[in-house]
């Protein structure tokens, strides 16, 4: 115990927003608090690939000036945040944690970055991840391993491990990550924070370096559900630069922050809790169901068919798309180029062999194989057909339930190097998160307990397309009636 003084970096965006608007704190002071925190703890956590110290302070001054002059003050104005390093930032290198793009500086901003800037948020830097988003531990980064703030011998999850560790460790008030198969929700669960993957098409993908285009969305990693709603308000919306973004009017998501789930129908897929799940995780999920029941929701188990196909279908489709999306990194125009080569073919082979890490190469090979003429019908086409069936089975499920509830991951955070030799086992652990990506559904992970090692457990809620409001309402109610989100890790030096 001892020091009970609350540091600014420990607060949430909505708390800090209040303090800023009431002139209790200055944006500069807040930004410096975060930068100090980063310089104190990031040598342990390794969340950041790039820290934009000078730009952040400069920007903090500008925003404070704006606030002082009585200008418009959006809810996130002055809040220091950070971005996963696959979200393009003009003039700031965007590496995807790959040797291939180690020196790549985009001449454009992602649409979400423009939106963040227009909100007046302060960009602290770019966060570590599994190379190109491929992985669940952030061990597949070319630069460094990121450590879990709850236990620095453990991984923060992935691929948005940097964002999750930074937010949980107090190195950013919130972060934006990307979720292709669970890459926001699983690290959020591992690090005891809130992470949401919005409905496919809710947030523009323009400027998100593509891994698997038909599956991924950018989403928030925050300390609580209120912050999640605030960030969601800021990033959702149609973008004419992204044809797959959907032109609908999004509600004010903070309106969904209502402490009431009475009459809400929540389904728990039997297949999610029957086997292959850590007992402590299972207990926490069933306990969460009891919480919801006590608050007046109807919770029941049901059978979600096709669960066994989710992971294979996901890996075929995501790898197929990745094999094509990553083909542009050929050493010709930008990015890594091998130093010695003879001829065009050799330039391609050497640059790509040296520029990509093992996991990326594994997926490219898998995806190329799945799309090749001889195997297309057997792999890729089958996977597409199954994807349609999966989509349909969710549609039917949502005729009956408002939400689906389950674990985010079958286990809590792994030890560093624990799983690196067994990619297949790691793939299988994505079973609870990939369905939302395959069906384009919104999903949220919220803290729902701790295991006997003191590691956080994440509850996952999945909703109907564009029904983030129901998701937020249930998550908010759960949060208001539990204390898990208040417990913060202590990062030891």
Partner 1 sequence: MFSYLGVVIRMKYEIIIGLEIHAELSTKSKIFCSCTTEFGGEANTHCCPICLGMPGTLPVLNRKVVEYAVKAGLAMNCKIEEFSKLDRKNYFYPDLPKAYQISQYNLPICRDGYVDIDTGSGRKRIGITRIHIEEDAGKLIHDDESMSSFIDYNRCGVPLIEIVTEPDLRSSEEAKAFLESIKAILQYTGVSDCKMQEGSLRADVNLSIRPVGQKEFGVRTEMKNLNSFRSVVRAIEWEAQRQIEVIESGGSVIQETRRWDDNTGMSYSMRSKEEANDYRYFPEPDLVPVIIDGKWIEEIKKSLPELPDVRKKRYMSDYGLPEYDAWILTRSKALSDFFETAVSKSKNVKAVSNWIMGDLLRILKEKEMEVEDIPFPAEYLARLVDLIDNGTISSTIGKAVFQKMFATGKEPEVIVKEEGMEVISDETELNHIVRKIIMNNPQSVADYKNGKQKAFGFLVGQAMKETKGKGNPKIINKLLKDLLG
Q: Total residues at the site for partner 1 (CB under 8 A)?
A: 43
Which of these ranges, 240-248, 301-309, 414-422, 435-443, lies near partner 1 under the rule CB under 8 A?
240-248
Collapsing DSSP to helix, strand or coil, 91 comes out as coil
**Least distance CB 5 / partner 1 (angstroms):** 41
Q: For residues 269 and 303, is the Cβ–Cβ distance under 8 A?
A: yes
380 binds partner 1 per the rule CB under 8 A = yes
Among 373, 452, 483, 493, binds partner 1 (CB under 8 A): 373
238 binds partner 1 per the rule CB under 8 A = no
Put residue 440 in one of left, alpha, beta given phi > 0 → left and psi -120 to 50 → alpha: left
- Taking residue 99's Cβ as centre, other Cβ atoms within 10 Å add up to 18
Which of these ranges, 82-90, 118-126, 166-174, 307-315, lies near partner 1 under the rule CB under 8 A?
82-90
Closer Cβ to partner 1, 240 or 415, answer by number: 240
d(CA 79, CA 120): 8
Residue 335: CB partners within 8 Å, gap ≥ 6? 100, 101, 103, 104, 329, 351, 355
Pairing of strands 443-450, 456-463: antiparallel
390 binds partner 1 per the rule CB under 8 A = no
Collapsing DSSP to helix, strand or coil, 470 comes out as helix
Which of these ranges, 236-244, 274-282, 450-458, 475-483, lies near partner 1 under the rule CB under 8 A?
236-244
d(CA 8, CA 122): 15
Helices (H), 97-240: 111-119, 161-168, 185-191, 225-235
Pairing of strands 298-302, 456-463: unpaired
Give the DSSP H/E element, type plus range, for residue 458: strand 456-463
286 binds partner 1 per the rule CB under 8 A = no
166 binds partner 1 per the rule CB under 8 A = no
Among 40, 287, 324, 393, binds partner 1 (CB under 8 A): 324
From residue 83 to residue 102, what is the string marking binding to partner 1 with x (rule CB under 8 A)? ---xxx-----x-x----x-
Instruction: Provide the token pair at 293.
Output: 């029941």
Q: For residues 295 and 481, is the Cβ–Cβ distance under 8 A?
A: yes
Closer Cβ to partner 1, 46 or 177, answer by number: 177
**Least distance CB 297 / partner 1 (angstroms):** 36
d(CA 94, CA 87): 7
Q: For residues 34 and 9, is the Cβ–Cβ distance under 8 A?
A: yes
- Taking residue 18's Cβ as centre, other Cβ atoms within 10 Å add up to 14
Closer Cβ to partner 1, 332 or 389, answer by number: 332
Catalytic residues, by residue number, are 84, 159, 183
Closer Cβ to partner 1, 256 or 326, answer by number: 326
114 binds partner 1 per the rule CB under 8 A = no
65 binds partner 1 per the rule CB under 8 A = no
Which of these ranges, 156-164, 188-196, 241-249, 476-484, lies near partner 1 under the rule CB under 8 A?
241-249
214 binds partner 1 per the rule CB under 8 A = yes
Nearest Cα neighbor of 100 from 268, 333, 270 is 333
**Least distance CB 267 / partner 1 (angstroms):** 29
244 binds partner 1 per the rule CB under 8 A = yes
The conformation of residue 377, written as its DSSP 8-state character, comes to I
Point out which residues bind partner 1 (CB under 8 A).
86-88, 94, 96, 101, 104, 106-108, 110, 205-210, 212-214, 240-244, 320-321, 323-324, 327-328, 330, 332-334, 344, 348, 368, 371-373, 376, 380
């Amino acid at each position: 115990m001892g020091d009970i003084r609350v540091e600014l970096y420990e607060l949430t965006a909505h708390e800090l927003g209040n303090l800023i608007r009431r002139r209790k704190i200055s944006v500069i002071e807040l930004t410096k608090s975060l930068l100090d925190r980063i310089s104190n703890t990031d040598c342990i956590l390794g969340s950041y690939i790039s820290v934009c110290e000078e730009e952040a302070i400069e920007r903090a001054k500008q925003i404070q000036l704006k606030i002082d002059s009585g200008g418009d003050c959006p809810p996130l104005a002055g809040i220091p945040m950070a971005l996963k390093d696959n979200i393009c930032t003009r003039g700031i290198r965007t590496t995807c944690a790959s040797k291939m793009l180690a020196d790549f500086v985009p001449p454009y901003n992602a649409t979400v970055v423009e939106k963040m800037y227009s909100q007046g948020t302060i960009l602290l830097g770019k966060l570590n991840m599994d190379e190109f988003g491929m992985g669940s531990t952030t061990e597949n980064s070319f630069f460094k391993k990121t450590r879990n703030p709850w236990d620095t011998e453990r991984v923060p999850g992935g691929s948005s491990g940097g964002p999750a560790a930074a937010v949980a460790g107090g190195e950013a008030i919130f972060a934006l990550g990307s979720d292709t198969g669970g890459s926001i929700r699983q690290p959020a669960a591992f690090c005891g924070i809130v992470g949401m993957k919005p409905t496919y098409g809710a947030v523009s993908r323009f400027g998100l370096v593509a891994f698997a285009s038909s599956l991924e969305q950018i989403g928030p990693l925050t300390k609580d559900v209120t912050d999640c709603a605030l960030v969601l308000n800021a990033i959702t919306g149609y973008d004419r630069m992204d044809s797959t973004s959907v032109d609908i009017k999004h509600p004010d998501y903070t309106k969904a922050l209502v402490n009431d789930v009475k009459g809400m129908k929540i389904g728990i897929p039997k297949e999610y809790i029957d086997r292959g799940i850590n007992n402590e995780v299972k207990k926490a999920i069933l306990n969460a169901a009891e919480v919801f029941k006590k608050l007046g929701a109807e919770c029941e188990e049901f059978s979600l068919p096709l669960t066994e196909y989710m992971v294979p279908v996901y890996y075929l489709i995501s790898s197929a798309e990745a094999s094509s999306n990553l083909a542009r990194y050929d050493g010709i125009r930008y990015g890594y180029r091998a130093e010695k080569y003879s001829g065009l073919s050799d330039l391609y082979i050497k640059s790509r062999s040296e520029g990509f890490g093992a996991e990326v190469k594994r997926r490219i090979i898998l995806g190329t194989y799945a799309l090749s003429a001889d195997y297309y019908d057997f792999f890729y086409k089958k996977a597409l057909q199954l994807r349609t069936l999966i989509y349909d089975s969710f549609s039917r499920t949502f005729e009956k339930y408002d939400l689906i509830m389950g674990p985010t991951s079958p286990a809590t955070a792994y030890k560093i190097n624990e799983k690196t030799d067994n990619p297949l086992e790691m793939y299988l652990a994505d079973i609870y998160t990939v369905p939302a990506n395959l069906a384009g559904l919104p999903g949220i992970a919220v803290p729902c307990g701790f295991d006997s090692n003191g590691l956080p457990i994440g509850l996952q809620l999945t909703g109907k397309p564009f029904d983030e409001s129901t998701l937020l309402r249930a998550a908010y109610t759960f949060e208001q009636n539990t204390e898990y989100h208040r417990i913060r890790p202590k990062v030891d030096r």
